[in-house]
Amino acid sequence: MLDTYIYDDLIYDSDWYLAKTKPLSEKLALKSIESIGHLGFLPLVKVINGNHKEKEVCIFPGYIFVKSGNYDDELPDIRSINFLSGWVKFDGKVSSVSNKVISDLMSYSKELNSEGGLWTRFEIDEIVEVFISGFAVKAKILTEPSTPYDDILVLMKFMGRDIKTSVNWKYINTNESNSFKNKLPRRTRGKGRIIKNKNHKFMVKS
């Protein structure tokens, strides 16, 4: 489920904390931490992969955000909990993330997924390859798609003529090695350093 968020108790001012998970165990770690009465947040985003199939990935692989279910208790040692490796610490102190940052991150994830997640964007006048019956034909983009499921108007050569035609996004490829126009936020850096993103800034307190 993409909306793997716990919106309850966001009205409280207490901070969230960053927990490190075992490899490829973020979703299982989320269930484990919630089973002992804590709130958890695992930001996920849709990605259209190279085979044009949709999947979901963690924005911060190897980490989940945790908020205590009892705001007066100290944070427990979570190393013995299944799928968790412990709290992320700097100078021996568990790093915290404000309620506002988590709320913004939830909104960012929701907005990104509503726009189709992460997928290859093509720009007007960009030269691409269109795959037709096993052959790659050079073409120029004439319209920008709004989603990865839209058809795109392109201009290409066919039998010596310039032909305008609509082509499904999945049949278009670019030679650029990094064609994602939407970027994932950078991972947490601690020490109060800002995690920069095109539309948002996320800060982790140590």
pLDDT digits (tens, 9 = 90+) for 123-134: 999 999 998 877
Give the pLDDT band (50/70/90) at residue 198. Answer: very low
- Closest among 32, 60, 55, 6 to 184, alpha carbons compared: 60
**Domain residue ranges of the chain, discontinuous segments joined by +:** 16-119+187-203, 127-173
pLDDT at 50: 60
Q: What token pair was written down for 37?
A: 């009465």
Tell me the pairing of strands 93-94 and 89-90. antiparallel
23: Cα separation from own chain's centroid = 17
pLDDT at 8: 42
* CATH fold label, 16-119+187-203: Alpha-Beta Plaits (3.30.70)
Q: What token pair was written down for 155?
A: 């201009």
* Res. 176: pLDDT tops 80: no
- Residues 111 and 7: their CA atoms lie apart, in Å, by 16
User: What residues pair up with 154 in beta bridges, in sequence order?
Assistant: 141, 165
Using one digit for the tens of pLDDT, what is the confidence trace for 5-50? 344 444 445 689 999 999 999 999 999 998 888 889 999 999 987 6
Name the burial class of residue 122, with classes exposed (0-12), middle (13-18) and buried (19+) by CB atoms within 10 angstroms of its CB. buried
* Res. 178: pLDDT tops 60: no
